[in-house]
Structure 1
Amino acid sequence: MHLLAHRGYHASHPENTLDAFAAALKLGFEGIETDVRVSADHEPVLFHDRVAPSGEPVAALTRKQLSDVCGYTVPTLVEALNAFPNTLWNVEIKTPAAASVALPLLSHFEDSHRLLVTSFRHEVVLAAAELLGADCGLLCAHRPAAINSLLHAVMPHRNLRTLVWDCEIVDPDILRQANALGFRNAVYGAKTAYEHQLMREFGVHTVITDYPQHVGLRPA
């Protein structure tokens, strides 16, 4: 089972920063999940929330302005990939605008890096699967009544074979159906030791977590 640090290890460092990524890898995580938005000066910044701490939209701020209001340097996608090349990167693209900036950049890294490109915006994932040879995946916050309805559009794309589920809505039946159709399952959002163990018992391919202690990685 692959273990990815959700936005890095951010118990002691701001999330989605180079320090948080370094701390996660030092703990023993195989890879990092991070979020890409686009700033007002067209930089692919690693930032989760739509709105900055100042109450302004991230998209309305330059990278420097965003860094100033956050109190730390907000890294770019390229900086992170260059800093940690021997890492499995799950790059979540938050918006179509971010995709227009991030996908061409990712095309320069797909031969040298292990990448999984995901989004809740499934049209963004389809675009990524067409442009890139890297692995791509659908982020799923709902449990579909029928998995075929979710997967119909993605079947022609051989590099789009990962489903990333919210822990709260996943169950063994949907995982088995996905596996039978050739899809790998990843899960995010597990909080307790019990939930992490349950994901292991379900046989998920990847766990994206904020809690290293629940997956056998112990902070110093």
Structure 2
Amino acid sequence: MAESAEKETWHEEAKEEQQWYYELFGDRDWDSYKEVEMEYLERNVGHAIYGPPEKLPDERTNGNTGYETEELEHIRKVCATIKKHGRNLSKCNDSDILMSVIFVCLNVEERSRRVAVFRIPRYDPEDKSKQCLNQFVDQNCRVYEDWDDFLSNNLLPKCTYCYPAGGVYDGDENDKVLLGFGETPASKAVSKVFSVLDTASTVVTVSFCSWGIS
């Protein structure tokens, strides 16, 4: 009974947290960044992964982000992956880079954690009539061709998780976020899992510098 009550509590907390993210991010499809605005992309990716920086932004010591050297190296690797796999973005939109962050809430041994996943457009050169599709980049710079690919092949640890349905923050007729619950692939099969939790912030404080596109 106690275990069931704890899981129910986590479900409700995850719903509330995802509702907050939906209200924060759900008013736009993408955040847009010009090539000269890469420090804003780095700041936003850093916020999503590590939470707010402990230092003030400084051009000489932390690339105007406020993050430590090791953190900034990781942030820039993620940003480079986002840029590399969004090379055909101009086919979908005039912006240089489009990116949207979503959060996956984890219930790891009855402890609530969350990790960021980055959604970017995927242009299909074989069918120019198609609208832009979504692909996803995780904190380990792994790229997933769509949300089903992420759900089937992510390297998150064995746990239950909660995520925005389809990997997109969207709401129902009552403006409640549409969610999915499930178990990670590690919960369903014996596999070697490289956890991203070492770089996941336990408390997310978001103050993103965003240019919204609806």
Higher RCO structure, 1 or 2 (CA under 8 Å, sep 6+): 2
Q: Same fold (TM over 0.5)?
A: no
- TM-score by length of structure 2 reads 0.29
